[in-house]
Amino acid sequence: MSEQDHPSFPLKLPTLCQTSRATSDFPQPRHSSLARQFSNWLSTGSLSSGYINLDTMSATTTIYNGLFRRNWTMLGVVFASAFVFELGYNTTMNKVWDNINRGRQWKDIRSKYVTNDDEEE
């Protein structure tokens, strides 16, 4: 690949002797429209091109400022989320296990083997 195929590379970096040159003397890389839109989204928080309009910066900013900006609130959110996830996951997996092994667990066959001792006395 020659320089004519890709004019933005290689970028000419200043050497120690050329440090007094202005940065406008160097070629600026060419960006595609997608890269330009992404750069616009990073700087403004909205990405709009044609039919697409994504303006989610306010929601993410609110969540960040409310839950993740300070370290102790982030730790609280992480630990609370892990606790709630653990409860939900354990409950779900116990139900799945009981459903798969229905009729084979002690709680299902206990009545066949244990007699009520109170009736005999």
The answer to whether position 97 is within a domain reads yes
The answer to whether position 30 is within a domain reads no
Q: What is the C-alpha to C-alpha distance for residues 121 and 105, in angstroms, rounded to an integer?
A: 29
Number of domains in the chain: 1
Q: Domain of 57: which CATH number?
A: 1.20.5
Q: What is the C-alpha to C-alpha distance for residues 39 and 22, in angstroms, rounded to an integer?
A: 24
pTM for the complete prediction?
0.45
Identity of residue 3:
E
Confidence (pLDDT) at 62 = 86
Average pLDDT of adjacent 10-residue blocks, the chain of 121 residues:
53 53 58 67 58 61 88 95 98 97 92 76 50
Distance (Å) of CA 79 to CA 11, 14, 85, 91: 48, 50, 10, 18
Range of the domain at 83: 41-113
Which residue has tokens 């990405």? 47
The answer to whether position 95 is within a domain reads yes
The answer to whether position 5 is within a domain reads no
